[in-house]
Amino acid sequence: MGMKILLVASEVTPFAKTGGLADVAAALPKALKQLGHDVRIIMPCYRSISQGDVPFRKARKSAEIELGGESLKGFLRQAALADVPVYLVENKYFFGRDYLYGSPEEDYPDNPRRFAFFCRAVLQLLKRMDFRPDVIHCHDWQTALIPIILRAELGDDPFFARTAVVFTIHNLAYQGLFRADALAEMGLSPALFTPDQLEYYGKVNLLKGAILAADVITTVSATYCREIMTPESGCGLEGVLQARADALVGIRNGLDTDEWNPAADRRIFRNYSAKSLAGKHADKLELQRELGLEVSSSVPLIGMVGRMVEQKGIELLISLLPRLGSERLQVAILGTGDRDSMARLQEFKERGVKNISITFGFHDELAPKIFAGSDLFLMPSRFEPCGLSQLIALRYGTVPVVRQTGGLADTIIDVTENPREGNGFSFSAYTADACWDAIQRALAALGDREGWRKIMRRGMSADVSWRQAAGKYEELYRTCLQKRK
């Protein structure tokens, strides 16, 4: 029997996006819908959405939210994502801004109130909509107040009596950590400011509260699930996670294979498939031409797309650039990141090294071309909860070179260690030398054209869709509901 499932997230593709969370929040509901469930999404209505070209239905619902003695009104707008209804909570003061979470320089100082308003509005509007979810699936700290409020304030509310709450941690490093007086700003009781609830070294930690309040906590890969219970990767919450180990589950994200499909992607130069790879060769030549690189099929091309920040291994990349620049190969880099990393990349770019292309920013048009036109895809991450880029690379026949951590360890099998099943190349030590060794092993394998095509096809034929993950979430939801009865 189908379940009623509400997915709550602060960003959802294509409405608003800063990272992989938005892709997950869009793809998982569609996969659950295909399994026969009544799935709906709710998110904030940011300025970029309200002023964009989203075909809204007329807003019919509203809610009055009390925060710190002030009454604030939220309106509900409705759109759709495929066949999944998408509800957007509108409040122009909180969400009518240029950015989702803050400017490039700093986060908005009233983020606790902004997302407290959002979470409280979600719970009120569910009643106005008369939609009683079997499961509310929350994502990251911006939605953490939902399980907290349901346990601390609405435990006796019959409307939510049989509603289970699943909370997914996409990146433990982002915890919703605020000063102590944020508790009152969010309308929460001072009684919650204790070490066994929201207090964390004198501050309020929303992620901690959600971990303790949710029925089940999930992470986005099995390896990351194990890693975050250790002092090395627990970001200070390893003890809290260990205490809830029985309720902690790792489910690897999937990929929206309708969007990322080299056989049908209109954003790339030429389409191709595992059966017919000729188009990939053309994609490489056209990409080289567009980026101003030497147009040559024989020169290996390494792609890298993503955020240029510490998590993604920017230190390793920057230290490797001189070596890469002196080799008979090419590098195509696309992304943006913190100010210091951008400055260092800009400094290297100004040297005019001819075989390395660096493009700053998020370019929806260029990213697919790099995935399709590159021979190798580099992900030297310090840590990686799941990673979607390596899945896209596999889908496009671009062989990943990754650090063995988190979701990268779960999805990439090293060809050197396992020639029959390998789909990429990996290294474990977080050093430039270890990364360079993996690149060299990949380049050596690239010289064997027939062997390389086998590696490419192995990756392209793997099931990286949401099918398996959605089935695991479905099973998890049913287990939660059984415990609720």
**From the annotation, which residues make up the binding site?**
17
Eight-class DSSP state of 229: T
Distance from C-alpha of 336 to C-alpha of 136, rounded to nearest angstrom = 33
Q: Which two tokens stand for residue 141?
A: 């700290």
Return the bridge partners of 397, or none: none
Q: Which amino acids are annotated as binding site for ADP-alpha-D-glucose, given as ranges? A: 17
With contact defined as beta carbons under 8 Å apart, do 476 and 216 qualify? Answer: yes
**Cβ–Cβ under 8 Å, residues 20 and 388:** yes
DSSP string for 358-386: EEES--TTHHHHHHHH-SEEEE--S--SS
| Other CB atoms within 10 A of residue 437 CB | 15
Give the amino acid at 406: G
Beta strand 356-360 with 376-379 is: unpaired
Strands 38-44 and 84-90: parallel
State the Cα–Cα distance between residues 390 and 422, nearest whole angstrom. 14
3-state secondary structure of 443: helix
Residues 6+ apart with CB under 8 A from 344: 318
Question: Is-contact 11 485, C-beta < 8 A?
Answer: no
Please give the Cα distance from 355 to 100 (Å, whole number). 36
Distance CA 2, CA 25 (A): 20
Strand partners, 136: 6, 165
